[in-house]
Structure 1
Amino acid sequence: MKILFAAAECAPFFKTGGLGDVAAALPKELVKKGLDCRVVLPFHHKMPLELRQQCEDLFNFTVSVGWRNQYCGVKRLVMGAVTYYFIDNEYYFAREGLYGYEDDGERFAFFQLAIMEMMQRVRFIPDVLHANDYHTAMLPFLVKEKYHWVKAYHDIKTILTIHNIEFQGWYDGGKLADWFGVGMERYEDGTLRMNNCLNYMKAGILYADRVNTVSPSYAREIQTVEFGSGLDVILRMESGKLSGIVNGIDYEQNNPETDPLIDYHFSTADFSGKAANKAQLQKEMGLPVRKDVPLLAVVSRLTRQKGFHLLLAELPSLLQQDMQLVLLGTGDYDFEQAFAGYTQAYPDKVVANITFDVALAQKMYAAADIFLMPSAFEPCGLSQMMAMRYGTLPVVHEIGGLKDTVTPFNPVTGQGTGFGFEDFSGYQFMKAMEKAITMYHENPIVWQKVMTQAMEEDFSWETACNAYLALYEEVVTN
């Protein structure tokens, strides 16, 4: 089976979030399963120079973006058995960032048109064209409408993965003709129209053969008014082709037995290395080196969406507990200042690192006892899975992917991998944190059992890949 995976970002070339991780990991696993999976990306100039220099120039041609005739170069790089194609155009992609520009709609219109023109030229016609988020959500429409006359494309099936429903690609309705060079019929009859705007995501949902999200709970949630960001009606209408698949994490990179970024290695058979990591981190952070105090950790963007207004509201109460808190992240200025203020006021209990540091993040996953993730919504989330991989028990809001990956501890059965709260309130978050802290202090044997259960959960990409493989086989055979 041939898969063309289209995305706006992909590690290690360039990434801003979870989409970049998925675009990196899933194609690698699919290739291991014997599929011919290739990835197509914009040639963002943010790519590291050493990787850019490895790219091979294949050819170039002209893409019509409405009335504009734009240069399109196609580059290729083969890495780890995966072939990557890059769409090159300096006018659109020679920029500091990946997104956030006034002409993003035109930039990604060009990218999608270039993909459609590229497939025949590289002689790779996929069985499945896999689009991701709004940047490539018009591809299913282009396959079925603009390029329906291309015989080679008749059997292409399309899948759209929604990584975050909030970002939809809203543009003036006239841009359908202006950028894509098609008639206005599908806009005027309401198919592509949403609140009198062209909506890329709506187009993808309606035209894709299958739609999936990055967790089963998120697939259900986005069909509600609360979480659907205006597209809930469309998603309910198309619910028969909607599903959810939990993302995986890289088990080679996130391995407590071999991780080169942590000071001491450990496993479920021997937790001594985790205790040593904790002592080392406490020392580095200037905290009292105490084995008997639970070390809480936060590794995240500091935003309301991530729920950190709840943590700030409850921090005065939390500090009455015998605990320590280490934080790593950047985000809203007010949150940064507030956490920095607590570091000044309680240096023996709170350390806020207002920065981004991959190595320090790994050390915190490996050293902490409790991981805090009170997100207001979370399509999937990776941090809670990485924390569990290192035996750090998460406290999460039971929503989206957090609900699907963290099993709240049940004191009757002894089963569970963390702690959860259902109502999105500071009070309930505090109660969940208190449960975790109390159990750490009073039931060390049970705590260690739950650590083991968390570490033995299977969040590998191999498992997630099997679910995608089943989805591909379903869409191709139906």
Structure 2
Amino acid sequence: MKKILFASSETHPLIKTGGLADVAGSLPIALTNLDQDVRVIMPHYQGIKNCEPGRYLCTVRVNNCDVNLLETHLPESDVVVWLVDYPPYFNHPGNPYHDENGIPWPDIGDRFALFCRIVVEVAMNRAYLDWKPDVVHCNDWQTGLVPALLSLEEHRPATVFTIHNMAYQGVFPSNAYTLLNLPGQLWHPDGLEYHGMLSFIKGGLSYSDWITTVSPTYAQEIQTPEFGYGLEGLLAHRQPTLSGIINGIDTKVWNPETDPFIAQTYSGKTLGKKVLNKTALQARLGLPVNADLPLLGLIGRLVDQKGIDLVLSCLKELVNMPLQFALLGSGDNSIQVRLQDFARLYPDKVSVTIGYDENLAHQIEAGSDLFLMPSRFEPCGLNQMYSQRYGTLPVVRKTGGLADTVVDTLPDTIKNGTASGFVFNDAVPGALLETIKRALVVHANPKLWQELQRNAMRKDFSWENSANQYLALYREI
């Protein structure tokens, strides 16, 4: 049994802004189910909900601050969560990174430096908890100082640093180094210094024993200038100790056989019932109810990263084809307005819902025939995995986790039973449009279509699968 300290700036369902929270809320439970001793550590924000209030454990003094440690649990699990309680930093309305008005916290560097210091004290068993981990698993820049600070300790635990999105790095002006009172021996170009500035993420990339990211393809991509954001050289240097492990999905929440949000449950054996979800979705969205028309779904943030601009460029042609399009999402205001214009002009073809609605998200996954995910980059992505589980075939760009989880429909992949969607290479509208047309040709062959749906529904995207890979890694280091 390994003792694992899992450090994260956010954890679902306690507090969530993105995919990191999903991992922090799922992977520790999956590892516990594999008989490991896992503790999650995160800041005690004012906005935390869905857990019993933390009970006081102890007070630890770091950098002239007295910091309390509280203990609670992940809901419906035995996983212990330690909350780092320092009210001057964390007891404010807002989320982990922004205040209520969406303005980044001015003292965000101080906050996460303090958090990292406490993680180190716990990791070195200096926090009166009588528990010392074998592995400290850090996530994203907010925990980047942990491997760096631990590198100065004797008899330290092993460290793993996971990149969920390379675009966020935690870079601060050089004077922050002095203000944060960080050890002088870490301030050099191979350490925390980045072009004369302080980089939190470099602490994780330079000092951790192993680096992982959330898909094998993304692990390759971040070693290139396009995806490395200035750190591709360091990542290429770390290549022997860098690997990708695909995130899992919550197979209880996303399960067409038991999903309470959808009109009709179904399985790979009862695929004929899936169409009832399409007609129910068409009715809900005010689209003409027609079981035979292909329905394309899209759920996501309406930003260029997600390739929404490619979809907009294709819509002019798509509305002249025999199909319907249902979108749920929010983001860039100009994109929202253009999409809403299309929905007004073509009310029998296009439905656009701005915002997020969990109930509708499940109905789109179950009711669509095809799911569009033409991202410019996608470290892991979840919706393409949900879609396959629901027998809704994804149309994706060959990048990051999309490349690792969707197998293009080609003569050889049809033959060997692995085809589960449609993949294109270039982030240009023409490539997306051609791939949608190719998918529609296949959709016109019901026998082949059902074969692809069953291939997709058989795939194992469970957290157990991912947890086993992490466990093998912990044992190796």
Output the TM-score relative to the length of structure 2: 0.94
Which consecutive residues of structure 2, in runs of 5 or more, have no partner in the other structure? 98-103
Which residue of 86, 90, 106 maps to 2:87?
90
Deviations 1:443-472 (Å, cap 9, x if unpaired)?
111111101100111111111111001100
Match of 1:76 in 2: 71
Aligned to 2:324: 324
CA deviation after TM superposition for structure 1 residue 357, in Å: 0.9
Distance 2:122 2:467 in 1: 26
Deviations along 1:179-231, one digit per CA (max 9) or x if unpaired, are: 14322x43245522112111111121110000010000000010011111110
Secondary structure at the counterpart of residue 82 of structure 2: strand
Please give the residue correspondences for 1:197-346 in structure 2 after superposition, counting only pairs within 5 Å: 197-346=197-346
Alignment of 1:45-56 (within 5 A): 45-48=46-49, 51=51, 53-56=52-55
Q: Flag the 1:360–1:304 CA change in 2: closer, same or farther, 3 A.
A: same
| Contact 2:57/2:71 (<8 A) preserved | yes
Q: Which residue of 1 aligns with 2:129?
A: 122
Q: 1:361-417 CA deviation, whole Å, 9 max, x = no partner?
A: 011111111000010001010110001110100000000100000000013552410
Counterpart residue number, 1:411: 411
Counterparts of 1:21-60 in structure 2, within 5 Å, are 21-48=22-49, 51=51, 53-60=52-59
SS at match of 2:302: coil
Residue in 1 aligned with 2:454?
Answer: 452
Q: Is the 8 A contact 1:113 1:180 kept in 2?
A: no
Q: Which amino acid aligns with 1:275?
A: V
Q: Distance in 1 between matches of 2:182 and 2:194?
A: 20
What is the letter of the counterpart of residue 222 of structure 2? I
Aligned-pair CA distance for 1:123: 1.8
- Counterpart Cα distance in 1 of 2:70 and 2:139: 21
Number of matched residues? 461
1:101 paired residue number: 105
TM-score normalised by the chain length of structure 1: 0.94
Further displaced range: 285-294 or 409-418: 409-418
Residues 1:426 and 1:189: Cα distance change in structure 2 (over 3 Å)? closer
Per the alignment, in what secondary structure is the counterpart of residue 377 of structure 1?
coil
8 Å contact 2:303–2:332 — kept in the other structure? yes
* 1:180–1:384 Cα change, 3 Å: farther
Residue 318 of structure 1, CA deviation? 1.2
SS of the equivalent of 2:351 reads strand
What is the aligned partner in structure 1 of residue 364 from structure 2? Answer: 364
Match of 1:20 in 2: 21
Letter in 2 for 1:380: C
* Structure 2: distance between partners of 1:104 and 1:466: 34
Alpha carbons 1:420, 1:432 under 8 Å: kept = yes
Match of residue 474 from structure 1: 476
Could you tell me how far apart the structure 2 residues matched to 1:352 and 1:174 are? 47
Cα RMSD, aligned residues only: 1.3
For 2:286 and 2:147, the matched residues in 1 are separated by 54
Picking from 429, 434, 443, the partner of 1:431 is 434
SS at match of 1:269: helix
CA contact (8 A) 2:255 2:389 kept: yes
C-alpha distance in 2 between matches for 1:437 and 1:102: 50
SS across alignment from 2:447: helix
1:162-189 Cα shifts (integer Å, max 9, x gaps)? 0001101101223223214322x43245
Asked whether the 8 Å contact 2:314–2:429 carries over to 1, the reply is: yes
Unpaired runs of 5+ in structure 1? none
Distance 1:189 1:214 in 2: 27
Report the alpha carbon displacement of residue 81 of structure 1 after superposing the two structures with TM: 1.3
- Native 8 Å contact 2:122 2:132 kept in 1: no
Distance of aligned partners of 1:190 and 1:205 in 2 relative to their CA distance in 1, 3 Å threshold: closer
Q: Of residues 128, 133, 136 in structure 1, which corresponds to 2:143?
A: 136
